Amino acid sequence: MTTIDAETDLTADEQRVSDLITDLLEQFPPNDTDAATFLGQQFDRGLAWVHFPEGNGGLGLNPKLQRMINERLQAAGAPNAMIRNPIGHGMCGPTVVTWGSDDQKSRYLRPMFTGEEVWCQLFSEPGSGSDFAGLSSTGVRDGDEWICNGQKVWTTLAHLSRWGLLVVRTDPQAVKHAGLTAFVVDMQDPTVEVRPLRQMTGEAEFNEVFFTDTRIHESEMLGSPGDGWRVSLTTLMNERVSIGGTIPAKGSGMISALTKAWAEAGDHLKTGAALDEVMSLWSRAEVARLTNIRSSQNRKMGDPGPEGSIGKMAAADLNKEIYEKVMDLMGADALLYGSYEMIRPETAMGSDTPQKAFLRVRANSIEGGTSEVMRNILGERVLGLPGDVRVDREVPWSEIPRN
């Protein structure tokens, strides 16, 4: 049998990407290079978001090649841009490259990827969570500026953010989906107030944000007036892929907490029924992992489709069940939570104890769109089922009854 060098099987695009990865690792060894410098060099070589245009952190290639990049860099011990700036990397970057001006892309994408400038997403409001298009924060034109007022809630990492992706209502006489406009907002503006929202984990990863006569120059608009709904769809579709579409190595990720708990559990907890549950969850996690691999291989250029909601919804339910079983296998130790001091986290990625992770994954079925919303999207846009009754679709927002 003839042995074929793996490199000879690479396509031209794969070879180009492979050569750039090799050059990056040789010129900037991860162990000897600070994270921001390494990630900046990764961006400059087009290896940040490989499907983005050249000059914007990408090479204009098929997004499936990003997996090869991530796997090689992770194996070499390179820093992870997602951990440093999860909202910016997974959601705001794709939105800026799709809707931003050339100046905005040139200004924001590189420091966003390196983590030197953290981003947040300002969508949900106290009166319009799942009904995002019903938001009531306002933007009023004043010359070449827009004056914004309102309140946003559940804003992850707003306390660390330099910039935010803000959607406000600029035309209350239009139907609710049509009257929205998106902006990049300076989170350090003195008219922007960030207050912590303490979660049941004890942390305050989420925040509420208040805008009081906040002036935003029209050059910071993403798209045009009235494009806010379409801009937000770009963000939300990428958010769902970011939350539910990760592809860990086999047996790693959330499921590794369960296999570790099984290995450490007392013999009295390792019943046949418990083993059946563990193996069922492990199988489901592997099915989800393989499904996400297939989805990433089939992904085309442009915005992710509604199928990204499949991984997000499945991950939300699975993660909760995994940690429920972890708690079972820990026995009475599951009750020992440790310190409940309020902390303002530096990242939204991961928890340092199984007990904290058990509480944190409760949010998986809410953030990025509730599981109920995901089911509607999948039913209507993937399966083609009749849509929900919507009595306010053609009604101007100003005429819709609200609390």
- d(CA 207, CA 343) in angstroms, rounded, equals 12
Contact 188, 117 (CB under 8 A): no
Phi, psi of 156 (to 5 degrees): -65, 130
State whether residue 98 is helix, strand or coil: helix
- d(CA 110, CA 300) in angstroms, rounded, equals 23
- d(CA 205, CA 120) in angstroms, rounded, equals 11
- d(CA 176, CA 395) in angstroms, rounded, equals 8
Contact 391, 360 (CB under 8 A): no
Rg of the chain over Cα atoms, rounded to whole angstroms, equals 22
Please choose, from the candidates 369, 383, 83, 347, the residue with its C-alpha nearest in 3D space to the C-alpha of residue 236: 369
Place of tokens 């907490």: 257
Contact 115, 39 (CB under 8 A): yes
Q: What are the strands, taking DSSP E only, across 187-302?
A: 192-197, 206-217, 221-222
State yes or no: is 239 an active-site residue: yes
- d(CA 128, CA 135) in angstroms, rounded, equals 5
Task: Indicate which residue of 117, 205, 208, 239 is catalytic.
Answer: 239
* Burial class of residue 363 (count of CB atoms within 10 Å of its CB; 0-12, 13-18, 19+): buried
- d(CA 254, CA 360) in angstroms, rounded, equals 12
Q: Please give the distance of CA 254 from its chain centroid, rounded to a whole number.
A: 17
Place of tokens 């990204």: 308
Contact 188, 163 (CB under 8 A): no
Contact 99, 222 (CB under 8 A): yes
- d(CA 239, CA 146) in angstroms, rounded, equals 27
Q: Which residues are designated catalytic?
A: 239
